[in-house]
Chain A
Amino acid sequence: MIAQENAAPVSTAATGEEYNFAYLDEQTKRMVRRAVLKAVAIPGYQVPFAGREMPMPYGWGTGGIQLSASILGPDDVFKVIDQGADDTTNAVSIRKFFERVADVETTERTSEATVIQTRHRIPEEPLTEEQIMVYQVPIPEPLRWMEARETETRKMHALEEYGVMHVKLYEDIARHGRIATNYMYPVMVNGRYVMSPSPIPKFDNPKLDRSPALHLLGAGREKRIYAVPPYTDVKSLDFEDHPFEVETWDECCGLCGSETSYLDEVILDDAGGRMFVCSDTDYCSRRRESGHLGPMAAREDLDELKGDRPAQEGGHNG
């Protein structure tokens, strides 16, 4: 390959960029790809990898971006969400980055995407066998809050020594009367490894269980890659007398009226006005397109939330 690797693919050359296809060099991609394959073979186990510096700071999704760069090809359709939204700064930046360095087609529609990079949510629309989810993980080690030393947590995983994890959940119950962990809620994967499902709300945990899609998780600062293959058991840890429960809301989405999606609270004024809207913007706008309207859908002062942004240049990011 020595000689041939210098030949940049046409698609990248055409954009006038001096980068290799999908930004990373080929040796880095091979290293990430090998880590991904081992992660898939050992569901829930964190594979160390030689994470590279990316052209953005840690915390912006460098782990997810290295995964996406290593798996994306010219045939893929790429979607990026940050909290369920496609139009937030981080999501827009990452989408533009891959449009530029991988010349990949992008979409905001969950059903059209083959690779979905995400920060906090799993889309409401059920995933399919054709899709790969890529998560940007800040802290991959679920035991880190109880044990600071990597040498120890590694041993705990090796020995399946997870008692401390249940102690933490129990302390929640002792203090708050319920399990108060709402995101990064620990799960048991394939009956063997306790895994942190990245900062998704526990609302999304059940979507991981026997999901038809492949889920890849990447932590850039901590340099770990792990995976949940399709149709793999993912069980949220709980107790017989305090079974796992997801969040519920008394309200429905103010815009589309959904009673089953994950809702964000939006403060409307400083006189106590507020509303709840779907966190998944694609799901919400699709429902509105097909005629579902919530109690506040007609209010014109909420156009910004509905994604009906003003046409002029230099618009906001919502």
Chain B
Amino acid sequence: MPEFAYENISPGLQHPVLDSQRIFRAVLLTMSRPGTVTVLGNWPAPPSPLKPAAASVCLALADLDTPLWLESTIHSDIQTYLRFHCGCPLTQKQEDASFAVVMDGNDLPDLKKFEAGTEEYPDRSATVIIQVRELNVGRGVTLTGPGIKDSTKLTVDGLDSGFWHEFKKNSERFPLGYDVILASDTEIASLPRTVRVEV
């Protein structure tokens, strides 16, 4: 067994069982209350440019049943890291992905190509994790929809301005659509397909 290969992989979650539960609850909180920004604690230390928040979500939710999409140009350290800790197959075909990690919100792939489910099985759709610089509640884009009491505002720094237009089209085809998790270094906010965006 090539021992050296394992030594070079940075550590994953410290307590996989309890950390996964805590991360899942944070994702559930943001998914059921879109626009809420939550801190994830107790970091894994993924290889750059993968950040702790996005890495946590992958470590908690991805496994051998969920092909994960990464840009083809991504450093092999990250591929090894995710393959080793999650055991998930990696894919470069967007339509095959259950999860996707976009390393830089300013450099988006064609989001339309991610699986949006079918009329009979809209749940068979992708969850796209997009890394951004900063998330702030209270200013910016107005969000309404299930999970939001009246309306809420979210500012996302480091996200291509075309994203909101693209996401609007995504929510118009409800119940089809992909769901988005925005991740800064240490925080996440989620945009399920039900969210209606006013730019």
| A residues at B contact (CB < 8 Å) | 1-2, 4-5, 7-9, 20-22, 26-27, 29-31, 33-43, 45, 47-48, 70-74, 129, 154-155, 157-159, 190, 192-193, 212, 214, 227, 229-233
Q: A55 to B10, alpha carbons, bound, how many Å?
A: 38
Chain B stretch 55-110: residues in CB contact (< 8 A) with chain A: 59-66, 85-87, 98
> Is the CB of B168 closer than 8 A to any CB of chain A?
no
* In contact, B86 and A229 (Cβ under 8 angstroms): no
* In contact, A41 and B193 (Cβ under 8 angstroms): yes
Closest to A154 in B: B120
* In contact, A229 and B147 (Cβ under 8 angstroms): yes
> Is the CB of B154 closer than 8 A to any CB of chain A?
no
> Is the CB of B186 closer than 8 A to any CB of chain A?
no
Closest to A35 in B: B123
* In contact, B25 and A71 (Cβ under 8 angstroms): yes
Interface residues as binary, B1-29 with A (CB distance below 8 Å gives 1, 0 otherwise): 00000000000110111101110110110
* In contact, B16 and A33 (Cβ under 8 angstroms): no
* In contact, B86 and A1 (Cβ under 8 angstroms): yes
For the complex with contacts A30-B20, A45-B123, 5 further pairs of A-B residues with Cβ separation under 8 Å are A22-B21, A40-B147, A42-B194, A73-B18, A190-B146
Q: Indicate whether A9 sits within 8 Å of B147 (C-beta atoms), given known contacts A1-B86, A37-B31, A37-B179.
A: no
Residues of chain A within 8 A (CB-CB) of B27 are 37
Residues of chain A within 8 A (CB-CB) of B28 are 33, 36-37, 40, 71, 214
* In contact, A40 and B32 (Cβ under 8 angstroms): yes
Q: Indicate whether A1 sits within 8 Å of B16 (C-beta atoms), given known contacts A30-B63, A31-B65.
A: yes
Q: A21 to B21, alpha carbons, bound, how many Å?
A: 10
Residue from B18, B32, B87, B121 having most chain A Cβ neighbours under 10 A: B32
Residues of chain B within 8 A (CB-CB) of A71 are 21, 24-25, 28
Residue from A21, A34, A158, A159 having most chain B Cβ neighbours under 10 A: A34
Q: A1 to B44, alpha carbons, bound, how many Å?
A: 12
Closest to B18 in A: A9
A168 to chain B, nearest CB (A): 22
> Is the CB of B163 closer than 8 A to any CB of chain A?
no
Closest to B6 in A: A3
Q: A45 to B176, alpha carbons, bound, how many Å?
A: 11
Q: A39 to B146, alpha carbons, bound, how many Å?
A: 12
Q: A42 to B193, alpha carbons, bound, how many Å?
A: 8
Q: A74 to B17, alpha carbons, bound, how many Å?
A: 11
Closest to A228 in B: B146
Give 11 pairs: A residue, B residue, CB < 8 Å, sorted on A: A1-B85, A4-B12, A26-B16, A33-B60, A33-B61, A34-B66, A42-B175, A45-B122, A158-B119, A192-B174, A229-B146
Chain B stretch 131-154: residues in CB contact (< 8 A) with chain A: 146-149
Residue from A41, A45, A47 having most chain B Cβ neighbours under 10 A: A41
* In contact, B61 and A34 (Cβ under 8 angstroms): yes
Closest to A156 in B: B120
Q: A7 to B17, alpha carbons, bound, how many Å?
A: 9
* In contact, A40 and B123 (Cβ under 8 angstroms): no
Closest to B177 in A: A41
Q: Indicate whether A214 sits within 8 Å of B32 (C-beta atoms), given known contacts A29-B20, A190-B146, A192-B175.
A: yes
A309 to chain B, nearest CB (A): 35
Closest to A12 in B: B17
Residues of chain B within 8 A (CB-CB) of A154 are 120-121
Closest to B149 in A: A231
* In contact, B192 and A1 (Cβ under 8 angstroms): no
* In contact, B146 and A20 (Cβ under 8 angstroms): no
Residues of chain A within 8 A (CB-CB) of B174 are 42, 192
Q: Which residue of B22, B32, B63, B127 is within 8 Å of A229 (Cβ)?
A: B32
Q: A37 to B60, alpha carbons, bound, how many Å?
A: 13
Residues of chain A within 8 A (CB-CB) of B17 are 5, 7-9, 20-21, 26
> Is the CB of B33 closer than 8 A to any CB of chain A?
yes
> Is the CB of B184 closer than 8 A to any CB of chain A?
no
Q: A214 to B16, alpha carbons, bound, how many Å?
A: 25
Residues of chain A within 8 A (CB-CB) of B147 are 40, 229-232
* In contact, A45 and B33 (Cβ under 8 angstroms): no
Residues of chain B within 8 A (CB-CB) of A2 are 87
Residues of chain A within 8 A (CB-CB) of B127 are 37
A4 to chain B, nearest CB (A): 5
Residues of chain A within 8 A (CB-CB) of B194 are 41-43, 190, 229
* In contact, B120 and A158 (Cβ under 8 angstroms): yes
Chain B stretch 161-178: residues in CB contact (< 8 A) with chain A: 174-175
Q: A5 to B14, alpha carbons, bound, how many Å?
A: 10
Q: A39 to B192, alpha carbons, bound, how many Å?
A: 10
